[in-house]
Structure 1
Amino acid sequence: MFKHLRKWFVAHCFGHSRQRTRLVSKDGRCNIEFGNVDAQSRFIFFVDIWTTVLELKWRYKMTVFITAFLGSWFLFGLLWYVVAYVHKDLPEFHPADNHTPCVENINGMTSAFLFSLETQVTIGYGFRCVTEQCATAIFLLIFQSILGVIINSFMCGAILAKISRPKKRAKAITFSKHAVISKRGGKLCLLIRVANLRKSLLIGSHIYGKLLKTTVTPEGETIILDQTNINFVVDAGNENLFFISPLTIYHIIDHNSPFFHMAAETLSQQDFELVVFLDGTVESTSATCQVRTSYVPEEVLWGYRFVPIVSKTKEGKYRVDFHNFSKTVEVETPHCAMCLYNEKDARARMKRGYDNPNFILAEVDETDDTKM
């Protein structure tokens, strides 16, 4: 029991320090920050204000939303107060009984703010209204109405676009917790399982991968996060996937694969990150989305395969058991890709008679013993 407690203590206290740094987290977020960005480059975020507001977090977006409306109401309320003050419509000026104000019933800053609110949101209670006495008030009314429509359109559009972003649809796409390496179709493959939790399809789906690792060029340059293409396929290819049920995508480990020189014993010692991407178009909104996840060497299991999860019920329906989505079972697998291909070559040579120690070439002296 003491041994189990010690293992648990070591795993929980020192395991986090051995975790590898990821560029892409399991849920697809990128672990990267930009430093020493000059002020001119930061100004670009204000030029593209729509994208900036759209990418804000909800707490910041709601702050901008509330500030924009309250700020515009207060600003125009202040302008209405100035108009009433200049025209001497306020009670402290003791206007005559026959005096016609620019705006009826504005008695101070509070009433001016309420009139600004009623004007911009088109409530129109009827107690306060603009008269035809001064052109300044009419111009200010027109200007506030137009600017209010622009603010409403921008802010409501930003909220709607934030809610309907295809990034939320991507949350319904899930990848297996681990990747596995085993034989498939007589070839050594790296396999990953992906599932669509919604019944609506992703149209024109395309899946691919990038292997990120630190490399040193022949010139001595060290490249961090050097990218290598990883081709993933299913039985029907890697484009236009019929993504209605969970799929097992695989990468063939051949001579062109970066996994070819890796072995079961050395896999955990490697330093790489496998990032998998799935691009597609949402069927209901026609918006494109991208789902991504990553795997580090500790999450790649050599000599395992996924447990089947699709079955057929008595009623004739196909049932997907997501309880076994990431479960794996151990299978017999060569400990390296090179061994598998060398074994195949050896078998082929044996069939052709090459390198067969039992094969002896005997020379026969063919003489004609027929005597006439």
Structure 2
Amino acid sequence: MALDNTGFSSCPEESLSLPVPEKGEEPVEEAPKEAPPTDEQNTSEELGHVVTTETAPPTQAPSNNSMTFQDKMAAREAQANQHRKKIQVVGQERGRFGWARSKRKRQRYVEKNGRCNVQHGNMRETYRYLTDIFTTLVDLNWRCSLLVFVMAYAVTWLFFGAIWYLIAYCRGDLDHLEDESWTPCVNNVNGFISAFLFSIETETTIGYGYRVITDQCPVGTMLLLLQAILGSMVNAFMVGCMFVKISQPNKRAETLVFSRNAVISLRDDKLCLMFRVGDLRSSHIVGANMRAKLIKSKQTQEGEFIPLDQTDISVGFETGDDRLFLVSPLVISHEIDVRSPFWDMSQNQLEKEDFEIVVILEGMVEATGMTCQARSSYLAEEVMWGHRFSPMMCLAEGFFDVDYGAFHHTFEVDTPSCSARELALAAARLDAHLYWSISSRLDEEKWEGPNLTEQTGKSTDSESVREEQGPTFTVGGVTNTQDQSVVGEQNGSVATDQSESEA
């Protein structure tokens, strides 16, 4: 299909839509103008220009004949950028074709509930799990643990029941059920079901008294002893696993809560990273200890890339503040100093960083004496700059009341947006300025005091008096002849007249 460019040449460059006549008016024909050379490239350019500038407001631009191809492309690119800025959504990134694309969320290393988001794969030495079968069974989830618990008893009951049935079948007890003169191995065992019930009674030591082993079966006596021993071992093993699994302190960690956000604000004129931890139970965590780790990938000076590198964050290890008396909620503080990984981090840089702070609380459960560990984490967007935790404790009648409704609440405070390094440098400059200003002011008061004129007047009078009395020599900075002896004694200096010196 051939396209004629004469209709496009009469329209301005910025908008090529044809005029639509109103009702009752006839379209006015324009005088034909000289059309540019018709080729396929110009036609595609004009059509593409219509698509990209359809929503843009028309602006005055020079005609097609006076614009070069480079000028057209530059103007078209500027209009496309302007249109793209108008439809851009704040807080979203742009893809290759200008479509909105949400920012990639960082994958957590440790979830907020403390679960480590790490899965082990391609493990070839799985036999090591069987060497520690007790811990393996304890670490299983509840569904698998219950399945193993039921199967352990069911399999042993079925196994020994089948052996009791085989003994009765081999001895011919099943063929002499009605013969009262026949002495079977086990009384009243007439089939597999009765043998299975006798196995359950033997292993669980129920002993109903209806099915009883006789003394005419030595093989049955040995099997009875073996089943009793193995049954005791199975009971001890499975009951021990279930007891340890039930009494695990993992559920105790559910009542240890961390604040949803961490904050950075001033504390004693120093920037500090703070988060809050509390215990919902009245029973205490004995020997509670707090630790914190910074999870961030880095590249060494040799070019080695270390994914998820762990850096220790001090929360009072040197001073002993990491050992907590967790009776009421506490605010854990990390002072951002020279050894801190946040020493060079400002508020603007915090918004661009990609890291994770893992906090770990360890202690002994007072009720069971078992060690408990609670974990949580904070991403970079969960660290609030210039905030402080709200107080949540008040004094009631005879006790302290803790309001856990304000546990996660924070409020804004005046905090500089610079890094801790810049804040320390500014404080050092201020101290140096105060030091030099104080010393210079003392010098001014010493040499340019208000009594300087009086001192000069007194000095001239003393000089005139000394001229009348005769020349004197002063040692130790004394200018008054009356005080020479006193000052000379104090300073170890001597003042004499000229005649005495000559003698």
- TM-score of the two chains, using structure 2 as the length reference: 0.67
For 1:291, what is the secondary structure of its paired residue? strand
1:167 aligns with 2:253: no
Per-residue CA deviation, residues 113-135 of structure 1 (Å, 9 max, x unaligned), is 11111111111111111101111
Question: Quick one: which amino acid aligns to residue 347 of structure 2?
Answer: A
For 1:18, what is the secondary structure of its paired residue? coil
Determine the structure 2 residue equivalent to 1:86. 170
1:101 aligns with 2:189: no
1:14 Cα shift?
Answer: 6.9
Determine the structure 2 residue equivalent to 1:28. 114
Residues in 1 aligned to 2:426 and 2:438: alpha-carbon distance in whole angstroms: 14
Contact 1:206 1:239 in 2 (8 A): yes
Indicate which of 214, 219, 226 corresponds to 2:309: 226
* Root mean square deviation, CA, Å: 2.9
1:183 aligns with 2:275: no
Deviates more, 1:322-331 or 1:97-106: 97-106
Per-residue CA deviation, residues 11-61 of structure 1 (Å, 9 max, x unaligned), is xx976x6321111111111111111111xx211111101100111111110
For 1:45, what is the secondary structure of its paired residue? helix
1:357 Cα shift?
Answer: 11
Residues in 2 aligned to 1:116 and 1:14: alpha-carbon distance in whole angstroms: 67
Determine the structure 1 residue equivalent to 2:209. 126
Deviates more, 1:56-65 or 1:151-160: 151-160
Contact 2:257 2:279 in 1 (8 A): yes
Higher strand fraction: Structure 1 or Structure 2? 1
Determine the structure 2 residue equivalent to 1:243. 326
1:202 aligns with 2:285: yes
Per-residue CA deviation, residues 189-225 of structure 1 (Å, 9 max, x unaligned), is 0000000111111111111111111111111110011
1:146 aligns with 2:229: yes
Residues in 2 aligned to 1:359 and 1:97: alpha-carbon distance in whole angstroms: 127
1:94 Cα shift?
Answer: 6.5
Per-residue CA deviation, residues 324-364 of structure 1 (Å, 9 max, x unaligned), is 10111011101122232122112201210269999999x99
What does 1:26-105 align with in structure 2 at a 5 Å threshold? 26-38=112-124, 41-91=125-175, 96-105=179-188
Deviates more, 1:144-153 or 1:232-241: 232-241
Deviates more, 1:279-288 or 1:75-84: 279-288
Cα distance change of structure 1 residues 58 and 9 upon mapping to structure 2, 3 Å threshold: farther
Which of structures 1 and 2 has the larger relative contact order (alpha carbons within 8 angstroms, sep 6+)? 1
Residues in 1 aligned to 2:253 and 2:240: alpha-carbon distance in whole angstroms: 21
1:350 aligns with 2:433: yes
Residues in 2 aligned to 1:61 and 1:354: alpha-carbon distance in whole angstroms: 76
Cα distance change of structure 1 residues 7 and 110 upon mapping to structure 2, 3 Å threshold: farther
Residues in 2 aligned to 1:9 and 1:122: alpha-carbon distance in whole angstroms: 70
1:317 aligns with 2:399: yes
Question: Quick one: which amino acid aligns to residue 400 of structure 2?
Answer: Y
Per-residue CA deviation, residues 84-122 of structure 1 (Å, 9 max, x unaligned), is 11111113x667442111111111111111111111111
1:316 Cα shift?
Answer: 2.3
Residues in 2 aligned to 1:250 and 1:243: alpha-carbon distance in whole angstroms: 15
1:156 aligns with 2:239: yes
For 1:54, what is the secondary structure of its paired residue? helix
Q: Percent identity?
A: 43
1:268 Cα shift?
Answer: 2.2
Residues in 1 aligned to 2:318 and 2:283: alpha-carbon distance in whole angstroms: 22
Runs of at least 4 residues off by over 3 Å: 6-10, 93-97, 233-237, 354-361, 367-372
Indicate which of 405, 410, 430 corresponds to 1:328: 410
Contact 1:208 1:238 in 2 (8 A): no
Cα distance change of structure 1 residues 236 and 174 upon mapping to structure 2, 3 Å threshold: farther
Indicate which of 401, 417, 421 corresponds to 1:338: 421
Contact 1:306 1:327 in 2 (8 A): yes
Deviates more, 1:97-106 or 1:235-244: 235-244
Cα distance change of structure 1 residues 52 and 325 upon mapping to structure 2, 3 Å threshold: same
Determine the structure 2 residue equivalent to 1:3. none
Question: Quick one: which amino acid aligns to residue 250 of structure 1?
Answer: S
Cα distance change of structure 1 residues 9 and 342 upon mapping to structure 2, 3 Å threshold: closer
Residues in 2 aligned to 1:316 and 1:234: alpha-carbon distance in whole angstroms: 34
- In the alignment of these two chains, the number of paired residues is 358
Residues in 2 aligned to 1:159 and 1:149: alpha-carbon distance in whole angstroms: 15
For 2:362, what is the secondary structure of its paired residue? strand
Determine the structure 1 residue equivalent to 2:33. none
Question: Quick one: which amino acid aligns to residue 34 of structure 1?
Answer: H
Contact 2:298 2:305 in 1 (8 A): yes
Per-residue CA deviation, residues 209-249 of structure 1 (Å, 9 max, x unaligned), is 11111111111110011111101139983344211000001
